[in-house]
Chain A
Amino acid sequence: MHANASFQVEEELARDLQQMKLRLQGTPGSYSPLPHSLDWFASHVHLLIVPFLEAEVNQELVFQLLSFIIQEDLLYYLANNIHKLPFESRKDAQVIFSTAFRYKPVGASDPQVLHHVIQFRPEIIISLCRGYDRRESAMPCGGVLREALKYDSIAALLLYDEPTTDGKTRDLGDVNPDEPSSGNGVFWRFFDWIDKGAFEVSADAFNTFRDILTKHKALVAQYLQTNFDMFFTRYNAVLVQSESYVTKRQSIKLLGEILLDRANYSVMTQYVDSGEHLKIIMKLLRDDRRMINYEGFHVFKVFVANPNKSVAVQRILISNREKLLRFLPNFLEDRTDDEQFMDEKSFLIRQIEQLPGVPVAPPAAA
């Protein structure tokens, strides 16, 4: 490409991007100009991604394009307005985000754009989460988020987000992980998105929620310890006891996954010490939906197998010993081909049979 031609391309790009930004921003006070220029917008967003899709990517052009995008802060406006875009353009926008976040210059090992975003414009990540507020934007935003969640700094950004007076997202450097969360940051909004959203929104939000909680174990273990009570109170109330079958079933399963992760060991011991938690889980065993029973079983077994059961837990198990011993043998008895389940069930029966007659304070609890 001639220097001149390349310069022209750049000129055009810069102009287009500025136009795009203006249209996304809208003029305060006036109606949004977007609906009237959807076609223009769609074709231009699509033109933007063309260089990203070409088989032989023109590295230089991609670099130029991304520089302009960052310079114009286009990602921010895009993240906030993705729901206004027409159908195919929303997917194009997702491609722009993914390509930008994945972009590494030749030879570099760091995703530069993502760096920049985390460092100077974390609001973009928060705005992407807010995409769950609307059905149109939920999936493209969710896709981008989950890809970015490969990096623990993104998970940290979401977990430690707090509302600020100036509306700016707080700097990760200011975070004291021992300080409990206010419960008003963006992470806590996931509970609502999962519980209240339409099926597609809820399902996508749950996938992102699960990624936040399972991808970066040490980070999450610390977070859960600091915010143990608030997290599990909400988790139990909103998710495990959700009216929605899908939410309920998925979150019981995720609960099992969180508890059984060795990184979360002390969270697990704290969780299974609570009689209230056990009550909630035991009710799941009696739910009239079999898969709820099944997922509940996988949490219940952790309480029973715990060699150092708390007094509260022992008390519940002991006062229900007879009932449990009558109940468990017939519990999901048609799962005969699930060998592991059968083994675990007989193990639990054995454990319950061997419980002492009255609760005994666990030796380690001193």
Chain B
Amino acid sequence: MATFDGYQVLEELGSGSFGVVYKAIEKATGETVAIKLIDLEDSHDELSDIQAEISLLSTCKSPYVTEYKTSFVKGVKLWIVMEYLGGGSALDLMKPGPFGEAHIAIVCKQLLLGLEYLHATGKIHRDIKAANVLLTDSGKVKLADFGVAAQLHDYKSQRHTFVGTPYWMAPEVIQENGYDFKADVWSLGITALEMAKGEPPNAHIHAMKALFIIPKDPAPRLEGDSWSKDFKDFIAQCLIKDPDRRASAKELLDHRFIRRAGKVEAMRELIERKQMFDAQQDTTKHLRYYEETMVDLSPKTEEDEWIFDTIKQSTIIPARQTMKRRKMARIPSSEAADSCASMMQHLDMNAAPLGSVTDSPMPERRRPVSRKSSSSTQVYTPTGSTPTAHRISSPSKKPLGVDLSFGNSPSTVRHFKRVSSGERRAALSSNPPVNSNSFHPNPNAKTFRPTPPNSANPLDFNDENEPPAPVYQQPVPITKDALYGRRAYSKVMDSVFQEAYANSASPHQREALGGVHQAWAHLDQVDPQGEFLLIKAMVDRLQNDSKLASVLGVAVTPASTPKHSTKSCETSLSGATVHGTSTTRIRSSTTTTSSTYSKASSEYTSTPVGTPTGTSSGSPLKGPKLVLAQNNPHLKSHRRRQSAIVTGEKLYGPDGYALDEKKLPGHVEPGMEQQGLLADILYGQWMQGLKNRWPLS
């Protein structure tokens, strides 16, 4: 097994979508290799994305594809050892000027051979462009950068993920209605144009706008007398908007333009041209070398350690009380209680319920009144001295300051759609669909947890028409309403104001809006609960006015708040933009989630099961289990259990808690309602957060 010590790491070669690439020598063989170094701590990628690239790479072995050698983890760094390609990328080679037709034909032929291999093994590259075409010293052409490539597991399947680099993307990829291998052929056509012209079509247009133009406009064509008919026809064959009519890589290998292509050795000319060019430019390149990061070895201070000493049993107060909080105030002896008591003294009933307590060490969170951007966030990671590209896997809020014009971002885009409330609800219902063949728990077992009517999805606001909840007179007023208020402000009001502000033209309008926004922000600071009640009252009144209600569309759906919030999310073309030589990716994670979910559940139904029985019946059936005939006793017992569950479930109507309700997460002891409620709200959010943190596999 190769280790770091097995390699002598030389200068930096550049940085790709995943990290920095170094030149290195494998000591055992003396062979020059390229090592991609990914800092897994810094990388905004999910580990599984990186693993997916590696597993894809490791199943490719072709003279037309960059060879993967091995990978290993050292500390927090992942090392990916690849074949070294000394000729640079086709994009590099274009620096002295575009390619001639003869060279383009050679590159295209080699790329088609590479694509033929990939497609035959069920892979789509999805990011073909000159920057991802690498050459060996001797001029051989290889496909590189599998950061966004996909493996189709079923040969007839299609992908629905929005991935690639805008200018090179096929229309069907942008339109997200399913695509297959043919998407690579389109990108190849664009790459051919890029090599001929020096840049892809629409390069002068903002990348996001290009996304709209590509599906709308007629396919680009190569024009002008300087190009042969064959080349023009080749481009035309690649760039057919209907993927079904577009040629496959295999078919294109038979095209006259490709059959006439010369030998790869001719590519040497371009490599030499580039070397001459570099020499003339006299760019004294600053070589960067790999430096190992020093680990901080300073001993940890005692402060850095937790105290896990056991305390004698006797300090425990006998259990039996409901109001825990009061009790602690009565124990002034302990230091902790002291600080608590002092906090209590500082408590002001007018203070913001969620605001930090006066002497709390928690720094107060800024709530800037005039934020610079609307909620349609685009993330711009500023290019530092090391242009390591980050792919950002969750849409984070940063100012809209992206310059996505061609020169600034020759990069790939990933798009993360926010979860709409409907999908969120579906995702939250973690109990799998009940069906006949799957494994069922005993309804009396403690695991079985019916969904309490309201707490199942704390993000649902179905209580719009109920009377306002009584205001809790607790010393620390974290109320449900206050939380909702805060949420409504941060998710909806704030961004609505900002959008309105951004959309209004006249200074007067802006001033007026700004005033309201500021006032609202103040209200949110001071009294989020009141804020929520205000919103609620407004929605209620609006609903009562049938005309307004129908115009606003609030008549039927009471869940106005989440609705708004998703709307504001969907309008954003958010997503993560990246700089460097790298790749922005657009991906609609949610759609896929829900579709895979439903797919899984439909497969569920056809489960060929002979699972051990989950009940305590203790009478497992003998003999073969799997051919489950309709009269199979095993199946029958399944059904019986299932019907037991179904009736069991019916018990939990609006208020019928028949089972051990103390065990349910929704349950809290009297006096602990707020805590329980909070826990439940958070629980729902956590589930969602978790869903977002696992990318799709």
Identify B319's interface contact among A174, A216, A360, CB under 8 A.
Answer: A360
State whether A298 touches B608 (Cβ < 8 A). no
State whether A218 touches B439 (Cβ < 8 A). yes
State whether B153 touches A262 (Cβ < 8 A). no
Residues of B within 8 A of A (CB): 1, 40-41, 47-48, 51, 54-55, 58-59, 61, 70-73, 75-76, 78, 121, 153-155, 296, 303-311, 315-322, 324-325, 327-328, 331, 333-337, 339-340, 343, 354, 356-357, 360-363, 365, 394, 396-398, 430-432, 438-441, 445-447, 449, 476, 478, 490, 600, 603, 605-614, 616, 618, 620-627, 634, 662-665, 668-669, 672, 675-676, 678-679, 682-683, 685-687, 689-690, 693-694, 697
In the complex, whether A139 has a CB less than 8 A from a CB of chain B is: yes
Looking at B440, B610, B697, which has the most chain A CB atoms within 10 Å of its CB?
A: B610
Q: Which of A15-23, A35-43, A108-116 contacts B (4 or more CB under 8 A)?
A: A108-116
Q: What is the CA–CA distance of A349 and B359 in the complex, to the nearest angstrom?
A: 13
Known: A222-B447, A269-B663. A361 touches B311 (CB 8 A): no
Task: Give the A-B contact count at a CB cut-off of 8 A.
Answer: 310
- Interfacial chain A residues near B686, Cβ < 8 Å: 256, 260, 298, 301, 344
Closest to B325 in A: A354
State whether A200 touches B439 (Cβ < 8 A). no
Q: How far is the CB of A153 from chain B (nearest CB, A)?
A: 5
In the complex, whether A237 has a CB less than 8 A from a CB of chain B is: no
Q: What is the CA–CA distance of A284 and B48 in the complex, to the nearest angstrom?
A: 21
Known: A139-B59, A173-B620, A306-B679. A357 touches B334 (CB 8 A): yes
State whether B55 touches A315 (Cβ < 8 A). no
In chain A between 90 and 141, which residues have their CB closer than 8 angstroms to a CB of chain B? 91, 98, 102, 109-111, 114-116, 118-120, 139
Closest to A346 in B: B362
Q: How far is the CB of B458 from chain A (nearest CB, A)?
A: 13
- Interfacial chain A residues near B336, Cβ < 8 Å: 318, 321-322, 355, 357
Q: How many chain A residues touch B (Cβ–Cβ < 8 Å)?
A: 118
Q: What is the CA–CA distance of A243 and B31 in the complex, to the nearest angstrom?
A: 30
State whether B663 touches A325 (Cβ < 8 A). no
Per DSSP, are chain A's interface residues mostly helix, strand or loop, or mixed?
helix
In the complex, whether A286 has a CB less than 8 A from a CB of chain B is: yes
In the complex, whether A204 has a CB less than 8 A from a CB of chain B is: yes
- Interfacial chain B residues near A307, Cβ < 8 Å: 668-669, 672, 675-676, 679
State whether B620 touches A175 (Cβ < 8 A). yes
In the complex, whether A172 has a CB less than 8 A from a CB of chain B is: yes
Q: Which of A24-32, A60-68, A332-340 contacts B (4 or more CB under 8 A)?
A: A332-340
Q: What is the CA–CA distance of A364 and B319 in the complex, to the nearest angstrom?
A: 10
State whether A156 touches B611 (Cβ < 8 A). yes
State whether A358 touches B315 (Cβ < 8 A). yes
Q: What is the CA–CA distance of A321 and B356 in the complex, to the nearest angstrom?
A: 17
State whether B362 touches A260 (Cβ < 8 A). no
Known: A207-B51, A288-B296. A115 touches B335 (CB 8 A): no
Q: Which of A74-82, A182-190, A244-252 contacts B (4 or more CB under 8 A)?
A: A244-252
- Interfacial chain A residues near B362, Cβ < 8 Å: 328-329, 346, 349
Query: 14 A-B contacts, Cβ less than 8 Å apart?
Result: A91-B121, A118-B625, A143-B153, A156-B439, A215-B600, A218-B441, A222-B447, A246-B73, A261-B430, A263-B432, A279-B306, A344-B686, A357-B334, A358-B315
Per DSSP, are chain B's interface residues mostly helix, strand or loop, or mixed?
loop
Q: What is the CA–CA distance of A291 and B39 in the complex, to the nearest angstrom?
A: 11
Q: What is the CA–CA distance of A150 and B320 in the complex, to the nearest angstrom?
A: 48
State whether A150 touches B340 (Cβ < 8 A). no
In the complex, whether A147 has a CB less than 8 A from a CB of chain B is: yes
State whether A114 touches B665 (Cβ < 8 A). no
Q: How far is the CB of A277 from chain B (nearest CB, A)?
A: 12
- Interfacial chain B residues near A363, Cβ < 8 Å: 319-322, 669
State whether B343 touches A353 (Cβ < 8 A). yes
Q: How far is the CB of A155 from chain B (nearest CB, A)?
A: 8
In the complex, whether A7 has a CB less than 8 A from a CB of chain B is: no
Known: A204-B55, A353-B340, A359-B315. A266 touches B446 (CB 8 A): yes
Q: What is the CA–CA distance of A131 and B652 in the complex, to the nearest angstrom?
A: 46
State whether A337 touches B397 (Cβ < 8 A). yes
Known: A151-B609, A266-B446. A173 touches B622 (CB 8 A): yes
Identify A249's interface contact among B47, B438, B613, B668, CB under 8 A.
Answer: B47
- Interfacial chain B residues near A316, Cβ < 8 Å: 306-308
Q: What is the CA–CA distance of A263 and B448 in the complex, to the nearest angstrom?
A: 7
State whether A315 touches B310 (Cβ < 8 A). yes
Q: How far is the CB of B258 from chain A (nearest CB, A)?
A: 23
Identify B438's interface contact among A152, A253, A257, A282, CB under 8 A.
Answer: A152
State whether A172 touches B614 (Cβ < 8 A). no
- Interfacial chain A residues near B672, Cβ < 8 Å: 307
Q: How far is the CB of A194 from chain B (nearest CB, A)?
A: 12
In the complex, whether A311 has a CB less than 8 A from a CB of chain B is: yes
- Interfacial chain A residues near B445, Cβ < 8 Å: 222
Identify B324's interface contact among A215, A298, A319, A356, CB under 8 A.
Answer: A356
Q: Please name 13 further chain A to chain B contacts, defined as beta carbons within 8 Å, in addition to the given A115-B608, A150-B600, A203-B55, sorted by A numbering.
A: A173-B621, A178-B618, A200-B58, A218-B438, A222-B445, A263-B430, A322-B336, A337-B396, A346-B356, A347-B678, A358-B317, A360-B316, A361-B318
